[in-house]
Amino acid sequence: MPTDISQGFDAQAAIRQTTGGGLFDLRRWFAGPELFLFALTLATGMLALILSHRFAQAVAWGDFMISFAPSLGLIILGAYIRARKHMPRAAICAIAAGIYIGFSGVITILIYLRFPIATPLIDADLMALDARIFGYEWREFTTALSAYPLWGKAIGWVYGSSLMQLFAAIFILGFLARTVALYRMLVTGTVSLLLAVAFWWVWPSLGPSAYVTLPADVEMALGLIHGQDAGTRLMNMAQQGNDVISPQIIMGTIAFPSYHTVMACIAVFFVVGTWFFWPMLVLNGAMLPAILSHGGHHFSDVVGGVVVFALAFGMATALVPGKGTTPMQPDA
């Protein structure tokens, strides 16, 4: 009988546990989508390991393993309370959060193995496209925004809230017993990140902050998160690479497609039908100017992020079967 704080929870739509499995039967501890995401994370890690040797790139593997400890801890805790304490809601939340943290950490290594970048960057093409189609230029946009410094700094907080929004969505879906929606969200998040990284590996971009010099008063007024210093660091990495890839040097690197846009889409779409939807929608309405300014993005990056989200969600729907076409439809 479930012992979660809320009553009437039925996790059978997503957790196909065998009642007679032994201690080492993974199906006793983890659901099918979780095992799929474990395999995807492992495969990504193996690819990163192979490429690090192929490129003779030093990686601080020990430091990364330490940084993965929270992910592993959450997964183990979730498996334990699912199998031993009969708390399926809390279990799925812990495992889902652990999976997302772990996959994000592993793929970060893969991203940084792209430096230095010897192939042409596509930023000039993106800036020309922005000017021609959207009438957008980063310096003009940030300069105009700097006339409203309180608003500019407020959306900096919004920009920094993306990851916490995803964790909030995980707990909302988990404790509302929307397991199919939760697994689709997880697959959407991981597959979209893979798609974004794959595109960026082939057609790399750094964003306008690596090319455009802003007036000092503009950057100070907005308190830009991804400003001139970040752009300079990105360009240096693109030209010279990194002596050692370690958690201490990690920063946002991918311009097109914008993964912050993907995260905003995920946070809003998957809480449709709950009272969390409107706060998420309002919050992420402010995310667009935040991505462009504090994220140092081309406008095209945002469009690319929406496309990547749509592709990944379509794949998640196919990979995680279940009733309903809306994310908040009950599993049963």
295-326: pLDDT as tens digits = 999 999 999 999 999 999 999 999 998 764 33
Segment 125-144 mean pLDDT: 96
Of 231 and 5, the structure prediction assigns the larger pLDDT to 231
pLDDT band at 85 (very low <50, low <70, confident <90, very high): confident
Instruction: Spell 194-205 as b/e; 16+ CB within 10 A means b.
Output: bbbbebbeeebb
Residue 86, pLDDT score: 84
- Which pLDDT score, from 0 to 100, does residue 227 have? 86
pLDDT exceeds 90 at position 168: yes
pLDDT of the residue at 25: 61
Q: What is the CA radius of gyration of the chain?
A: 21
pLDDT greater than 80 at residue 5:
no
Is residue 109 scored above 80 in pLDDT?
yes
Angle at 84 between CA 83 and CA 85, to 5 degrees: 110
- Cβ contact 45:190 at 8 Å: no
pLDDT recorded at residue 178: 93
Q: What are residue 58's DSSP bridge partners?
A: 244
Element (H, E) at 58: strand 58-59
Helix (H) or strand (E) holding 244: strand 244-245
User: What pLDDT is stored for residue 323 in this prediction?
Assistant: 62
- Please say if the pLDDT value at position 285 is more than 70: yes
Mean pLDDT of 209-234: 91
Q: Average pLDDT of 74-83?
A: 93
Residue 61 has pLDDT above 90, yes or no: yes
Confidence of residue 37 (pLDDT cuts 50, 70, 90): very high
Structure tokens at 58: 């030093």
The full set of domain ranges for the chain reads 26-319
pLDDT tier at 331, thresholds 50, 70, 90 = very low
Q: Percentage of the chain surpassing pLDDT 70?
A: 89
pLDDT at residue 24 in the model:
58
pLDDT-derived band at 22, boundaries 50, 70, 90:
low
Mean pLDDT of the chain: 89
